[in-house]
Amino acid sequence: MLPQRSNPWLGSAATVIGHDFGGRIARTLASDHPRLVKQLLLLGVAGMVPRSPEIERLTKRFWEAELSREDRLATIGQMFFAKGNDARVWEEGWYFDVARAQRASDSRTPLKEWWAGGSAPILILEGAEDIIAVPENGKRLAAEFPDRVTLVEISKAAHALLPEQPEQVAKAVLAYLRR
């Protein structure tokens, strides 16, 4: 039998960051294992408030249809970016099988199992123009848990708020972490 080594990471709570579906995973982790999560930083919070039927149709088309490069880029710009921001940074790197798995997981995991994010403090960064993770979700989470949720709206940003407004995102995250 090998001797056990101590691991300084085991038992330590972590700051967990998630964007959209990654935020659902982060909230699930915080709900299922609250001792492991010090705080959550969530970008683009989805959940209770659904997308409009028009955006849901556009989303389905984007993930399931064969689109020309030009149509895909136009759709990326329409779905994920605020008007005037350059969508070309998200032109590559899409994994459609992963997206299908995420959508299947969404449909099989009850909202109540992950919505609250356990008891961890939460920073929510919302793109003011996000049509994918409807900003009303972040507002509802903040209203439901006002003692532990901080909501920051990122102007001139939609769902792709990281490449759209990296300075605003970094400033908000650093201010939150320094508090």
Round the CA-based radius of gyration of the chain to a whole number and report it: 18
Q: What is the pLDDT of residue 9?
A: 56
Can you give the residue ranges of every domain in the chain? 14-178
Q: What is the pLDDT of residue 106?
A: 82
Phi and psi (nearest 5°) for 9? Answer: -85, -30
Inter-residue contact 20 to 103 (CB < 8 Å): no
Phi and psi (nearest 5°) for 168? Answer: -65, -40
Q: What is the pLDDT of residue 104?
A: 86
Q: What is the pLDDT of residue 111?
A: 92
What class does CATH assign to 14-178? alpha beta
Instruction: For the chain of 179 residues, list the mean pLDDT of each consecutive stretch of 10.
Output: 53 91 95 96 94 92 87 94 96 88 85 95 98 96 98 98 98 96
Beta-bridge mates of residue 43 = 19, 125
Structure tokens at 5: 């080594």
- Which DSSP string do the residues of the chain spell out, in sequence order? -PPPPP-TTTT--EEEEEETHHHHHHHHHHHH-GGGEEEEEEES--SSSPPPHHHHHHHHHHHHS---HHHHHHHHHHHHS-TTS-GGGGSS---HHHHHHHHHHHHHS-GGGTTT-TT--EEEEEETT-SSS-THHHHHHHHHSTTTEEEEEETT--TTHHHHSHHHHHHHHHHHHH-
Structure tokens at 170: 């970094």
